[in-house]
Amino acid sequence: MTGHVMVFAPAPLLTVTIEQQADAVELHLHPGGQGVWQARMIAALGVPATLCVAVGGEVGAVLRAVLAAENVEVRAVTRQAGSGWSVHDRRDGNRTGIAEHPGEPMVRHDIDELYSVTLAEGLRAPVSVLSGPADPTVVDPDVYRRLAADLTANGGRVVADLSGPYLAAVLDGGVAFVKVSHEELVADGRAGDDSVDELVAAAHQLRKDGAGTVLVSRADAPALALLDDEVTEVHVPRLQVVDHRGAGDSMSAGVAAVLARGGDLEQAVRTGAAAGALNVTRHGLGTGRAETIEELIGRVRLAPLDRG
């Protein structure tokens, strides 16, 4: 298969949502987690996606069923412990968490099996996306370092939307494109605050540490892209926000989709920005129509950073 993306999502979640539609109360079951949302957006952009996951227990059995309904190829291995889940209530229009569990830590056998499947799929794909687990106790960051190193050494391009020890791990292994939020840079101590000067310095340091290209999202402010040692502001059209969650995941998915098709970095950044902008107008995470994203791409403006 050519022009496709492998998405490593080791510990997807089963999300249970209670909603109110007119006089009826509805219950919705969906697969969730960063990698699932990224794969969904990649597929929406017309690029085939292969999702590599580990699922287990009763929750895992349901996850297999709902993952099968996604428009992506799923390579699932069975883990010994049960998969994670979350339950939230949106009957009043707000997202109120009721209960959640990230899943138990993956044991050595689980990791070995998932690593083998993921490596095979990643070697077949020109681009691989490494997505993080819902909780850092579930998967050891060294798994990410090894995957990044093995895929990069064999000609693959790795896209990562990670923070903390997972970001450090892929930088050590080798990563072509890093998407990180300004909040994550500050929380990780890579930036002293959220000022442009601090974020630009952090982006340059990420390049020195091993990232090829760096994209820093800044909520409703223009993102900062470090392309060939030049910092560019990414301006997107103003749209009404329904749910800000998932915008960053859609952004990294858009980048990966373009790179898998052989597009250049500027095109990848524009597409990622457009996908993220559209996602905030929708309730579904990692969702959006390709025709709308295509229309928004032409309205994304890349401009040299003005420090004045």
What is the average pLDDT score of the chain?
Answer: 91
Q: What range does the domain containing 155 cover?
A: 5-304
Closest by CA to 8, choosing from 125, 174, 103, 105, is 125
When pLDDT is cut at 50, 70 and 90, the band that residue 2 belongs to is low
When pLDDT is cut at 50, 70 and 90, the band that residue 9 belongs to is very high
Taking 60 as the threshold, does the pLDDT of residue 308 lie above it?
no
| Rg of the chain, C-alpha, whole Å | 18
Q: What is the CATH number of the domain that holds 121?
A: 3.40.1190.20
Quote the pLDDT of residue 134.
84
What's the structural domain count of the chain? 1
Taking 90 as the threshold, does the pLDDT of residue 237 lie above it?
no
Q: What percent of the chain stands above pLDDT 70?
A: 93
* Three-class SS state of 128: strand
CA distances, 43 to each of 12, 76, 286 (Å): 17, 18, 10
Q: How far apart are CA 235 and CA 38, in angstroms?
A: 22
Per-position DSSP letters for 28-43, written without gaps between them: EEEEESHHHHHHHHHH
Quote the pLDDT of residue 284.
54
Quote the pLDDT of residue 54.
97
8-state DSSP, 240: -
Segment 170-192, tens digit of pLDDT: 999 999 999 999 999 999 999 99
More confident residue, 46 or 305: 46
Quote the pLDDT of residue 243.
59
Q: How far apart are CA 42 and CA 308, in angstroms?
A: 37
Q: Is 165 exposed, middle or buried (0-12, 13-18, 19+ CB in 10 A)?
A: middle
Quote the pLDDT of residue 21.
85
When pLDDT is cut at 50, 70 and 90, the band that residue 287 belongs to is low
Q: How far apart are CA 16 and CA 20, in angstroms?
A: 14
Quote the pLDDT of residue 236.
85
Which among 53-62, 227-236, 270-279, 291-300 has the top mean pLDDT? 53-62
When pLDDT is cut at 50, 70 and 90, the band that residue 53 belongs to is very high
Quote the pLDDT of residue 206.
97
Segment 112-169, tens digit of pLDDT: 999 999 999 999 999 999 999 989 899 999 999 999 999 999 999 999 999 999 999 9
Taking 70 as the threshold, does the pLDDT of residue 100 lie above it?
yes
Segment 101-113, tens digit of pLDDT: 999 999 999 999 9
pTM of the model: 0.92
Q: How far apart are CA 144 and CA 149, in angstroms?
A: 8
Q: Please state the separation of Cα 291 from the chain's center in Å.
A: 21
Quote the pLDDT of residue 1.
43
Quote the pLDDT of residue 34.
93
Taking 80 as the threshold, does the pLDDT of residue 229 lie above it?
yes
* Three-class SS state of 249: helix
Residue 161, token pair as written in the block: 């939307």
Q: Is 123 exposed, middle or buried (0-12, 13-18, 19+ CB in 10 A)?
A: middle
Segment 66-99, tens digit of pLDDT: 999 999 999 999 999 999 999 999 898 888 999 9
